[in-house]
């Protein structure tokens, strides 16, 4: 992690279109400062985010994933974020057990009016990612000699 000073983490955000995506917009229009590390994907609801999307993002080399939806009780579809909460909770705990740094999967509740909170969350998550460094989870590293050159 020698080049940490120049390195900027890449964060992928899955933002619910009804709240967090609007919250991100608001943060922009009201000139709240937050790191430019996040790339946002608009999703219809935080419950749209299957764990596959999260893992795939990490596989593709994103350093972290942020899933953000409406506050519990405020879901446009009434119960979507409750379901998202269960799924993200088990995914987060399970990835942690496997050895994925907890900073790499973050989740938050940000409403359409919380531009400030959105900026804070992204700042905090980006800071966390800078601390854990680049995502090398799926990069080809030394493996014990099971698949050697002559073996394949």
Partner 1 sequence: MEQKLRQEAKALLEQNKVDWIIGFEPGSLKFTATPLITRDKNDTERLIINPFIVNNLADFLTGIKGRVGIVAKGCDSRSIISLIQDNKIVREDVVILAVPCPGLIDLVKIERLAGKDRDELDDISRDGDKVTVTVDGQKKEFAINQTLFDHCLACELPTPQEYDILLGEPGPPAPELEVSGQNIAKLKEALPAERWEFWQNEFSRCIRCYACRNACPACFCQRCFVEETEPQWVMPVPRWQDNLIFQIIRNIHVAGRCTDCGECERVCPVNIPLRSLAREMYGIVDELFSFKSGMDKEALPLMAHYEQEEAEDLFK
Partner 2 sequence: MADKKVGKKDIAGLLEQWSQQFAVFAPSKESGVAAMAEWDGKDISFLDWYRNTVVPPKAIFLPPMEELFRFQKGKEGYNIEPPPKDKHKRLIFGVRPCDARAMAILDMTFEQALEDPYYLSRRKSAILVGLGCTNPCESCFCTSMGTSPTDQTNVDLMLIDIGDDFLIEEVTAKGKELIAKTSGLKGATKEDEAKAKQAKETAYNKVTRKLDTEGIKDRLLASFDDEEFWEKTAAKCISCGICTLLCPTCYCFDINDEMVKQEGTRFRSWDSCGFPNYTKMPMENPRQEKWRRVRQKVCHKYEFYPMTFNVIACTGCGRCIRLCPVNWDITQVIESVPARTEAKK
Told to check if 150 binds partner 2 by CB under 8 A, we report yes
Toward partner 2, which CB reaches closer, 6 or 144? 144
Of 10-18, 99-107, 131-139, 143-151, which part binds partner 2 (CB under 8 A)?
143-151
Least spacing, CB of residue 144 vs partner 2, in Å:
7
> Which residues make Cβ contacts (< 8 Å) with residue 133, sequence separation at least 6?
1, 4, 7
Least spacing, CB of residue 51 vs partner 1, in Å:
4
Angle in degrees, CA 120, 26, 55, rounded to 5: 60
Considering CB distances under 5 to 8 angstroms, the limit depending on partner class, which of partner 1, partner 2, none binds residue 145? partner 2
The closest alpha carbon to 67, from 125, 27, 123, 15, belongs to 15
Least spacing, CB of residue 58 vs partner 2, in Å:
14
The closest alpha carbon to 22, from 84, 70, 57, belongs to 70
């Amino acid at each position: 992690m020698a080049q940490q000073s120049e390195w900027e983490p890449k964060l992928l955000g899955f933002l619910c279109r009804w709240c967090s995506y609007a919250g991100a917009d608001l943060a922009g229009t009201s000139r709240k400062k937050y790191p430019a590390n996040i790339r946002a994907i608009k999703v219809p609801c935080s419950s749209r985010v299957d764990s596959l999307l999260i893992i795939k993002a990490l596989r593709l080399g994103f350093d972290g994933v942020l899933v953000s939806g409406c506050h519990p009780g405020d879901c446009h579809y009434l119960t979507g974020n409750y379901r998202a909460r269960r799924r993200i909770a088990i995914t987060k705990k399970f990835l942690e057990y496997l050895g994925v740094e907890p900073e790499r999967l973050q989740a938050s509740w940000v409403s359409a009016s919380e531009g400030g909170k959105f900026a804070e969350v992204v700042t905090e998550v980006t800071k966390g990612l800078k601390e854990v460094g680049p995502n090398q989870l799926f990069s080809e590293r030394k493996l014990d000699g099971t698949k050697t050159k002559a073996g394949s």
